[in-house]
Amino acid sequence: MSSNPEISTDSPFVVEKDRLVKLQNTASFFTELRTIEPISSVYYPGPGLDDSLNDVFSPSEITYVDRTPHFTNITQGDFRTVNFPSGKFDAVFIQDIHEQPKDIVEFVRILRKNGILVYGLYGCGMESRGSTSFDHVHQMPSLREEELLKGWSKLFRTFRKV
């Protein structure tokens, strides 16, 4: 039995339901974000099974990169070695990819000025939700945290490239 009441290790149904809620939340969040920010190119490194951005963006607007592609419009590769031009994306979404500070440096490089880094707090179940430390993101001199959408900050934190 899991000691974390939010995560079940012995019921696949609960895990699937949890995943479905997560996908719905991500799609709702980005749908709202799009009403206030001009986003027509979004990068999602390490999506795994999470294809929720397909509900919000057209295929030509999304770039997914994962070592293991689980759906059709993913580029198979390592997000640490893929080389996009500086300022290519209006938004970058990262969630549960166990990133290192140097990864954040790269994600910020490929964001355009005033672009948005969205940091999803859903974990893989190995850590408690909301326990993520943002030190490595806050320490980026070109990023400023802004709460762009009220009520969402327990799930998604937003940072603007200044």
Q: Is 156 in the site for ligand SAM (CB under 6 A)?
A: no
Can you tell me the distance from the alpha carbon of 61 to that of 56, in angstroms, rounded to the nearest whole number? Answer: 10
Q: Which residue has the tokens 């001009």?
A: 38
Binding mask 117-136 for ligand SAM (x = CB under 6 A): -----x-x------------
**CB nearer to ligand SAM: pick between 61 and 103:** 103
Taking CB under 6 A as the binding criterion, the range among 27-35, 41-49, 132-140, 150-158 that sits at the site for ligand SAM is 41-49
Binding mask 52-71 for ligand SAM (x = CB under 6 A): -------------xxxx---
Can you tell me the distance from the alpha carbon of 47 to that of 68, in angstroms, rounded to the nearest whole number? Answer: 9
Task: Tell me the closest approach of the beta carbon of residue 110 to ligand SAM, in angstroms.
Answer: 14
CA distances from 110 to 77, 92, 139, 162 (A): 17, 9, 17, 13
Question: 95, 106, 107, 115: which one contacts ligand SAM (CB under 6 A)?
Answer: 95
The H or E element that residue 137 is part of is helix 135-138
Q: Is 17 in the site for ligand SAM (CB under 6 A)?
A: no
Distance linking the first and last C-alpha atoms of the chain: 46
Q: Is 46 in the site for ligand SAM (CB under 6 A)?
A: yes
3-state secondary structure of 127: coil
Question: 6, 36, 80, 138: which one contacts ligand SAM (CB under 6 A)?
Answer: 80
Residue 152 CB: number of other CB atoms within 10 A?
18
Q: Is 47 in the site for ligand SAM (CB under 6 A)?
A: yes
3-state secondary structure of 84: coil
Applying CB under 6 A, which residues contact ligand SAM?
46-48, 50, 65-68, 78-80, 95-97, 122, 124
